[in-house]
Structures are given as structure tokens and as C-alpha cells.
């Protein structure tokens, strides 16, 4: 049965030229504002317990207004399932916070437990989100294996584990005791931190590959072909863009502050100017580095994502996203946060307008691969039980 489906799709693809499926977003800021303000009020009245239900309403609206080839996506997630996952996550985070107050060692143990279960919860969130997303009446899916989730986060987790062990072995009383204990504490935390920075692009590549190698629609399974070296290149460029505002502010400070220090009465002005420049550098870092990394990462990952008969593409412009981000921040500040739903709509429209999807074959001939769905029914059930939304 499985071979006959693939043969039919392949035959159809060979006789049908590839065509572009337009992707657009039709959401309205005024419409979403009404959903957003109700969600905000109910979250405040319930002390945050309404958050999973608010998220379900938000996802339904954004999915219903995301159209591919004229057909909208649909979100079918049960908010009560999301609430169960939300409560479980609260319990885990609460246990970690309480353990940390009880003793540093208990806090480390609780943090280790939280890290140990996090990849499983992340996988469940991917299963839940994709399993409850449909297009043209057909559900999507996520087929990533549990062991692969742990392997994906290993480059980041391994240095973290070494740091935890160093804190547990040399942390208590290290400041009071000179000599080897403080030295080993510095080595046990400094070297893993350096290793984490060096392995971060590798970890990011493996995390994205784990996600994009396991998306399923009908009998199509996606694959990420982007090489790891391009993630390192993006990380180096992103670091340069992040440091650029700091460098510019530092140069400006080096010119202005000595001139002001020549006047004794200008000390207050000097300190005020320093504070203003630091705030400006902080804002510039997020207004430039954030959009740069977001735009480049979207283009890098989605342009390398494809299946046998689907090819994604992304050409999101950094300048357009940076300008929109600055505009959104300014208007959100001026309206005391009330512009936030309009900002979310504008950002979604810009990012989706930059996406492309090419199809080879006849979409009407596609059918769900029941053999794969049945083989992974247990994993789908786990995702439906937890109901997390952390991984997409």
C-alpha cells in the first residue's frame, strides 16, 4: 500500500510541472485586538491560569488567517489538554524554585531533573502542535524520535552538565577556602562555558535539523539540507551585528566623556550621559541584532527545507524587519502596550509574505500515509496528553 501511494505521487509529479503555492496572511489588527484584550483581561482575572486557553484562541486566529494556495490552516488543539501541560510545567518550575530556596544542592538536583525531562516535553510539544494542525482537511504530523531529541540538545547539555557537577563539587564554601577548590571551580565553570559558546551553533543546527527532518504532511516528510557550517557563519555574523552598537556607543563615549570631564561641575552630566548611552546601546542591540538573526535564520532554515515534492523558500529582508521592529516598539511604548496586537499582526504578515512554497505533482492525489501514522500512534498520544507548545 505504501509503495503504491509513493508510485502514484511520483507518476503524477513527473507529468505535472512545479508550481508556486502563494502564502499570505489576512489577519487584521483591529480583529486580533478584540481577541487579545479579552485574553489579557481573563489572564489577569485568573492569575495566569487562562493562559493556555488564550494561546489556543490566538493560534486559531493566526492559523485561520494563514492561507496557502487560498486554503487556510486550521488549529484543532484542545485547550484543556494544553492546560494539563501548562500545570505540569508550572509544577516542575515551582519545584525547581522551591528546591533552590531550600538549599543550593537541592536546587541543582531539581534543575538537573528539569533538564533531563525537557527534551521529552519539547518533543511532545512538537507532536501536539503539528498533530493538531491541518491544511485542506488533512492533519500534519511530527515523526521525530525521542532519542534524537536528546541527541539534538547534547552539544548544549553536555557543557551544562559539567558546570552543574563543578558547582556541586566545588561550589559550597569555595569563596571561603583558598587554593585548589576555588581554582577547580573556576576551571569547571569557565571551560564548559567556553565550550558551550563554541558548540552553540552546532547545537542550533542539530535542533533545527531535528525539527525540520520530521515534519509530515500526507506521505511527504521534510528534510533540512542546510550544512552546519552555515549556522556557524550566521552565528559569527550575528555576533558582529550584536557588538556593533556597543562599539559605536563606546566610540561616542570616548569622544564625549573626556570633553565633559574637563569641567568639574559636569560630573552629574557625565554619569547621566553614560546611563543614557548604555540604555541606547541595549535598545540598539535588540532592535538590530534581534531582527538580523530572525531574518537570516528564517531564510537559512526554510530555504533548506524540502520533501520529495515540496520545496520551501524564504527571502525575508533584514532591513524591512528591523524597520518594522523599531516601529512596533515605538508605537507599543507610546500606547502603553495597546499596540502590541497590531505589532504581532504586522510581523506575521511580513514574515509569511517572504515565504514561498513550490509543489511538484498533483496535490489532490495525496493521501495520508496511514502506515506511518499507526506506527507512531503512541508518540502522538503522548503529545496530545502533555499539550505543550514550546518547540515551534
Query: How high does pLDDT run on average in the chain?
Result: 81
pLDDT band at 163 (very low <50, low <70, confident <90, very high): confident
Query: Please, where are the H alpha helices in the chain?
Result: 2-15, 29-45, 51-64, 79-102, 104-131, 146-170, 180-212, 228-261, 267-284, 290-302, 318-334, 340-353, 370-375, 377-386
- In the chain, what percentage of residues exceed pLDDT 70? 74
Average pLDDT of span 242-268 = 65
User: What are 216's three cell numbers?
Assistant: 509530515
Tens of pLDDT, residue by residue over 94-122, are: 887 787 677 767 777 777 788 888 899 89
Average pLDDT of span 266-288 = 70
Kindly list the strands in the beta sheet with 305-306, ordered across the sheet, starting from the edge strand earlier in the chain: 19-20, 355-359, 310-314, 305-306, 223-224
Average pLDDT of span 32-54 = 95
pLDDT band at 243 (very low <50, low <70, confident <90, very high): confident
Residue 362 confidence (pLDDT) above 90: no
Cα separation of 321 and 66, whole Å? Answer: 19
Cα separation of 385 and 39, whole Å? Answer: 24
Cα separation of 224 and 215, whole Å? Answer: 10
Q: How far is CA 81 from CA 52, 97, 287, 342, in A?
A: 9, 25, 36, 28
DSSP label of 103: -
User: What are 25's three cell numbers?
Assistant: 496572511
Least confident of 30-34, 124-128, 213-217, 252-256: 252-256
**What local confidence, expressed as pLDDT, does residue 66 receive?**
97
Average pLDDT of span 335-344 = 96
Tens of pLDDT, residue by residue over 304-320, are: 999 989 999 999 999 99
Least confident of 74-83, 206-215, 329-338, 358-367: 358-367
What is residue 135's three-state secondary structure? Answer: strand
CA dihedral 255, 259, 262, 266 (to 10 degrees): -110
Contact at 8 Å (CB) between 387 and 131?
A: no
Average pLDDT of span 342-365 = 90
Amino acid at each position: 500500500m505504501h509503495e503504491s501511494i509513493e508510485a502514484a505521487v511520483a507518476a503524477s509529479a513527473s507529468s505535472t510541472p512545479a508550481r508556486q503555492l502563494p502564502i499570505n496572511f489576512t489577519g487584521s489588527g483591529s480583529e486580533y485586538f478584540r481577541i487579545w484584550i479579552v485574553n489579557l483581561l481573563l489572564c489577569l482575572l485568573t492569575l495566569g491560569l487562562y493562559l493556555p486557553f488564550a494561546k489556543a484562541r490566538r493560534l486559531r486566529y493566526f492559523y485561520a488567517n494563514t492561507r496557502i494556495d487560498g486554503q487556510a490552516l486550521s488549529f484543532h488543539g484542545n485547550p484543556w489538554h494544553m492546560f494539563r501541560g501548562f500545570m505540569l510545567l508550572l509544577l516542575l518550575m515551582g519545584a525547581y524554585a522551591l528546591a533552590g530556596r531550600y538549599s543550593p544542592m537541592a536546587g541543582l538536583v531539581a534543575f538537573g531533573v528539569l533538564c533531563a525531562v525537557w527534551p521529552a516535553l519539547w518533543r511532545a510539544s512538537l507532536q501536539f502542535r503539528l498533530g493538531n494542525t491541518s491544511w485542506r482537511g488533512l492533519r500534519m504530523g511530527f515523526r521525530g524520535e525521542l532519542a534524537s531529541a536528546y541527541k539534538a540538545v547534547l552539544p548544549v547539555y553536555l557543557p551544562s552538565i559539567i558546570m552543574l557537577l563543578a558547582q556541586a563539587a566545588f561550589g559550597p564554601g569555595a569563596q571561603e577556602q583558598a587554593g585548589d577548590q576555588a581554582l577547580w571551580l573556576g576551571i569547571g565553570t569557565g571551560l564548559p562555558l567556553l565550550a558551550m559558546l563554541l558548540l552553540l551553533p552546532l547545537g542550533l543546527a542539530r535542533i533545527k535539523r531535528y525539527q525540520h527532518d520530521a515534519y509530515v504532511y500526507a506521505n511527504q516528510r521534510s528534510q533540512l539540507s542546510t550544512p552546519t557550517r552555515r549556522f556557524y557563519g550566521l552565528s559569527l555574523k550575528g555576533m558582529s551585528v550584536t557588538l556593533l552598537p556597543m562599539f559605536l556607543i563606546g566610540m561616542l563615549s570616548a569622544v564625549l566623556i573626556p570633553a565633559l570631564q574637563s569641567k568639574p561641575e559636569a560630573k552629574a552630566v557625565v554619569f547621566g550621559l553614560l546611563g543614557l548611552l548604555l540604555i541606547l546601546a541595549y535598545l540598539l542591540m535588540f532592535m538590530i541584532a534581534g531582527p538580523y538573526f530572525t531574518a537570516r535564520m528564517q531564510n537559512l532554515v526554510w530555504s533548506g527545507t524540502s520533501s520529495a515534492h515540496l520545496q520551501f523558500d524564504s527571502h525575508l529582508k533584514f532591513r524591512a524587519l528591523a524597520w518594522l521592529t523599531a516601529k512596533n516598539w515605538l508605537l507599543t511604548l507610546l500606547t502603553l502596550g495597546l499596540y502590541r496586537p497590531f505589532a504581532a499582526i504586522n510581523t506575521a504578515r511580513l514574515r509569511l509574505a517572504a515565504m514561498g512554497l513550490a509543489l511538484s505533482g498533483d496535490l489532490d492525489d495525496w493521501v495520508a500515509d496511514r502506515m506511518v501514522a499507526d506506527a507512531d500512534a503512541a508518540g502522538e498520544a503522548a503529545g496530545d496528553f502533555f499539550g505543550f507548545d514550546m518547540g515551534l
